[in-house]
Structure 1
Amino acid sequence: MALPSDPRLVRMIVRHYLRYDRDNPFIFISAVLAFLGITAGVMVLMIAMGIMNGTQKEFEKKLFVMNYPLTVISFGKGVRQTTMEKIRRELPGVKISPFYTTQVIAKYGDAIEGGLLYGVDFAKEAAINPVFAKALDANRSYGRYSLIAGDDLAMTLGAGIGDRITLYFSQQQAVGFGSIPLQKRFPLEGTFNSGLKAYDKAILYTSLEAFHKVLKKTPDRYDGLHLYTQKPMEMIKKVKALLPDDADVEGWWQQNGNFFAAMQMEKKALFLVLLLIILVASLNIVSSLLMTVMSRRKEIALLRTLGATRREIRQIFFRLGLFVGSAGIVAGALLGFLGIWILTRFDIIKLPADVYGTSHLPVDLLPGDFAMIIIGTALIVLLSSLYPARKAASTDPLSVLRNE
């Protein structure tokens, strides 16, 4: 039957061993290095995971704006007007913007740039796309051939508001005995800025009527539908049930699945790599405890002969490791939150907005990630304290006192 341990004895010995020992200063220094290593590891992990999450959320926000929550696409001759009316009738909370799309070459003066032209209903598109809505002037009306372009595209072409940009289409038109690409001049009546250069340099908007007139599109069929709902992951199944066999629906997360999967994999890899910092620091805990055990062999043997149990000896050294590790975790968490607060409060690090979509470093530490950091570090500290504690408890007092 195991004898009960005396908690007062354990606490007293632990406090004694935590003090600086002039005869063995390296033991204390090793413990301090372990504390600093765990502190640095937890702090760096928190800041790194916060930056990863913040960057991912910033990209999600930008991609969400220009990719729409849900998009209905057709595998046949287009999405029928009756399908759009059915979705509007069955799902009244969903906002719908029908669209046409085609690739074009934009030309103004001597400048030429490729782009993707969308034909939309300006009012319906503005209701679901705040970037597009911001580019419109509420005090004016827009004509059939009005053109809204990304500000980077307009800047590359050197065109300003009111200038006429020539768009070349892939379709051909007959001229004499031959044919040339279909072309049409569109007045530039607005520009938008989504925050992502890839979109601002490639996307243009015009009216549905322009596609009807220039490309002879059928008014009762569309290339697709942009849908807005606050719960796209729940609504996608309901929309899919209302579609015919020649149409399907995609969520914005599916259209960019590879991108976000790569970011998630990078986040996990970063977590594991940075966790190695804590693992290295935990080796200092092991070495410092083992050196303490070796230097205190006489004291351990004396305690055993005075009645201290193996369990009490094991608890003493186990608590020593826990104290160093726990102190490092608490200090690292406090410094981590301080670092995140400084990065979010002050613009210490500037980012190129044309690459990242924002000039401010986004930092957002999720509660789940913080809990994972604390739990992972705590497990490493626990495991690091077990072996030295067992080594100390296995000390044979007779052989120690006989030989030393």
Structure 2
Amino acid sequence: MNKKFVNFIVKRYLRFDKKHPFIYISFLLAFLGILTGVATLMIAMGIMNGMDKEFEKKLKVMNYPITVYSSLVKVDKKLLLYLEKKFPNYKYSPYIQTSAIIQKNGLNGVLVYGVDFEKERKINFVINDALKNIKNIGKFDVIVGKRLFEDIGLYPNEKVIMIFSKMTPIGFGVSPLMKKVKIRGYFNSGLVAYDKGIAYMNIQGLKIILNQDYYSGIHIWTPNPFKDIEKIKKILPPGVGIIGWWQQNGNFFAALKMEKRALFLVLMLIIIVASLNIISSLLMMIMSKRKEIALMISLGATRTEIKRIFLKLGMIIGVLGIVSGAILGGIGIYILKNFDIIKLPADVYGVSRLPIDLSLVDFSLIIVGAFIIVLISSIYPAIKASKTDVLDTLRYE
């Protein structure tokens, strides 16, 4: 195959032809369509990834990477020491869980976690941030979520009545446990459900209030929870439960994954529609250049060379669109990442800035997918051009 000949004809056909301007307008529309499709896909997938990771980050902290909990068998200090000895590189935070009501401007229900704040802050950056300005946590000190703190008008070091769900016998009846506690401050997870419905209390104080000497469970931080959960499960005594953060929110992340796939397929349709312009443009060019094609074949050009000419034409338009779209998408992602063009309500999404994180896998899928669509769109017209009937064309045209 004569590459110089193919390249010469390709360059000639890429020049604007005043006799057939609609062909070049169609080429331009195909280029712009592919450019728009690739750029839109990159930005959309970047936003989806960014939101997924932001939600994952919040849920991972508030639900913890791995949780060992009391089921048929209670979790106690002996089990905690055993786990610390077996896996010294992991971080542990034992907790007691109960429900309670805070009596202030009405009754406000919360889920209370009794924790060792020094251990908890090592695995929970939300609590660590909340404790930066708080010193000397007392036995009956409590930290609540920011939304609850503001909604019911609490202020730092205010004392309130907390009514616990556990009952205590009084005479011939029972009464809920009540205790005056001090609200030391608030944490801010960025998720309303947690900031309004969870409170943290000193575990020593909660043990005294509930008269409980065992844990509800142990929160565990590990470098690789997906693998480490199996290691921990093997050494746990029968009857003790264990769960990972991804198992607690399986339906939520499955829905996000499905939404991401659907968005990818829908936006890929933009590139498919744009590729139809490549097909129509090449077919129009083939019809307008039939005499030239027939003449080239009669003068010695092979059908493979003809095929290569039109395949290359389609690929040049498509690849230029893909590259330009990738550059435009990259610029768009950079601008959205570094400038507050779009602001989000933090109480709804957990972040005020639009999170964007385009993964290498998604970027590769977009580029490869667009390239395959462009290639397929260029193949049919190229084959059609190579099958031009030389005798009929020269005789009648």
**CA distance 1:139–1:326, shift in 2 (3 Å):** closer
Residue in 2 that maps onto 1:38: 34
**CA distance 1:14–1:201, shift in 2 (3 Å):** same
Match 1:340 to one of 320, 333, 336:
333
Determine the C-alpha separation between the residues in 1 that align with 2:133 and 2:282. 73
1:151 partnered with 2:151: no
User: Which letter maps to 2:239?
Assistant: D
Matches within 5 A, 1:272-283: 272-283=265-276
Where in structure 1 do 4 or more consecutive aligned residues deviate above 4 Å?
none
Using the TM superposition, give the Cα deviation of residue 277 of structure 1 relative to its aligned residue in structure 2, in angstroms: 0.2
Using the TM superposition, give the Cα deviation of residue 175 of structure 1 relative to its aligned residue in structure 2, in angstroms: 4.2
Gaps spanning 5+ residues in structure 2: where?
none
Residue in 2 that maps onto 1:368: 361
1:187 partnered with 2:160: no
Using the TM superposition, give the Cα deviation of residue 353 of structure 1 relative to its aligned residue in structure 2, in angstroms: 0.5
**Structure 1 vs Structure 2 CA RMSD:** 1.4
Match 1:168 to one of 148, 163, 166:
163
Using the TM superposition, give the Cα deviation of residue 234 of structure 1 relative to its aligned residue in structure 2, in angstroms: 2.5
Quick check: 1:120–1:206 contact (8 Å CA) kept in 2?
yes
User: Which letter maps to 2:68?
Assistant: V
Quick check: 1:352–1:359 contact (8 Å CA) kept in 2?
yes
User: Which letter maps to 1:93?
Assistant: N
Determine the C-alpha separation between the residues in 2 that align with 1:158 and 1:53. 36
Aligned length: 397
**CA distance 1:189–1:290, shift in 2 (3 Å):** same
Determine the C-alpha separation between the residues in 2 that align with 1:334 and 1:116. 49
Matches within 5 A, 1:1-400: 5-108=1-104, 110-136=105-131, 140-217=135-212, 219=213, 221-400=214-393
* TM-score of the aligned structures, taking structure 2 as reference length: 0.97
Gaps spanning 5+ residues in structure 1: where?
none
Determine the C-alpha separation between the residues in 2 that align with 1:60 and 1:194. 12
1:401 partnered with 2:391: no
Determine the C-alpha separation between the residues in 2 that align with 1:337 and 1:349. 17
* TM-score of the aligned structures, taking structure 1 as reference length: 0.95
Using the TM superposition, give the Cα deviation of residue 57 of structure 1 relative to its aligned residue in structure 2, in angstroms: 1.0
Quick check: 1:111–1:156 contact (8 Å CA) kept in 2?
no
Determine the C-alpha separation between the residues in 2 that align with 1:10 and 1:334. 29
Using the TM superposition, give the Cα deviation of residue 179 of structure 1 relative to its aligned residue in structure 2, in angstroms: 3.2
What's the CA shift string for 1:283-334, capped at 9, x where partnerless? 0000000000111111111111111111111111111101110110111111
Any idea what SS the aligned residue of 1:222 has? coil
Quick check: 2:143–2:199 contact (8 Å CA) kept in 1?
yes
Determine the C-alpha separation between the residues in 1 that align with 2:60 and 2:366. 29
Determine the C-alpha separation between the residues in 1 that align with 2:92 and 2:46. 35
Using the TM superposition, give the Cα deviation of residue 77 of structure 1 relative to its aligned residue in structure 2, in angstroms: 4.8
Determine the C-alpha separation between the residues in 2 that align with 1:159 and 1:320. 70
Determine the C-alpha separation between the residues in 2 that align with 1:249 and 1:255. 11
Determine the C-alpha separation between the residues in 2 that align with 1:400 and 1:334. 43
Quick check: 1:98–1:120 contact (8 Å CA) kept in 2?
yes
Using the TM superposition, give the Cα deviation of residue 230 of structure 1 relative to its aligned residue in structure 2, in angstroms: 2.0
Any idea what SS the aligned residue of 1:73 has? strand
User: Which letter maps to 1:9?
Assistant: F
Quick check: 1:86–1:242 contact (8 Å CA) kept in 2?
no
Determine the C-alpha separation between the residues in 1 that align with 2:133 and 2:312. 69
Any idea what SS the aligned residue of 2:136 has? coil
Using the TM superposition, give the Cα deviation of residue 123 of structure 1 relative to its aligned residue in structure 2, in angstroms: 1.7
Determine the C-alpha separation between the residues in 2 that align with 1:179 and 1:90. 43
